[in-house]
Amino acid sequence: MAVIPVSVRRFVPGHAADVLALARSLGDWFNDEGLRQMETDLRNHAGHVALLGSRLVGFATWNPVDGRVANLSWMGVAKDVQRAGIGRTLVEAIVPDLRSAGFRFLEVSTVADSVDYRPYERTRAFYRAIGFADERVDRGFFQDPDGPYDRLLLRLDLARPNPGRSPEA
């Protein structure tokens, strides 16, 4: 898919309903528990949204972990426009905010490679392609009725030139 130009805006509370509706449409990535946590987090996390015309097609939010590290808390892109540069654009939009707030790294948690689930294979590939590096695997971190599964923590170095861009870009 070709790159789709979108308008990127700062996330404001008025976007929350549309962000949640988009997340609900992405059932391969967001379950009921996650959606409940997202609804709570959207009250105090910063971020950006991507608009295609008046339609919200993507979101990325973050919160501080400590004075050096921020957490990419929630991210999603509408299925019909995935792989069109919107996720990359959203990450690139939050980097200046993080830098100006004094953060050195942006971390994101996802399902580890040890879990055979195609949607998360694409998620890991996306983060790695835009410059996130594997930081560590936490065994049995996520709890599920079918048993625990592993978390992969990835980290983006905000001091790198053009974070959010792959080294080849």
Domain ranges of the chain: 7-157
State how far the alpha carbon of 156 is from the alpha carbons of 60, 107, 131, in Å: 15, 6, 6
Q: Which of 11-20, 138-147, 149-158 has the highest mean pLDDT?
A: 11-20
- Please compute, for residue 48, the number of CA atoms within 13 A of its CA located in the half-sphere on the CB side: 19
Q: Quickly list H helices, 25-129.
A: 32-41, 86-100, 118-129
Query: Per-residue pLDDT tens for 78-97?
Result: 999 999 999 999 999 999 99
Amino acid 168: pLDDT? 47
pTM of the model: 0.88
Range 7-157: architecture per CATH: 3-Layer(aba) Sandwich (3.40)
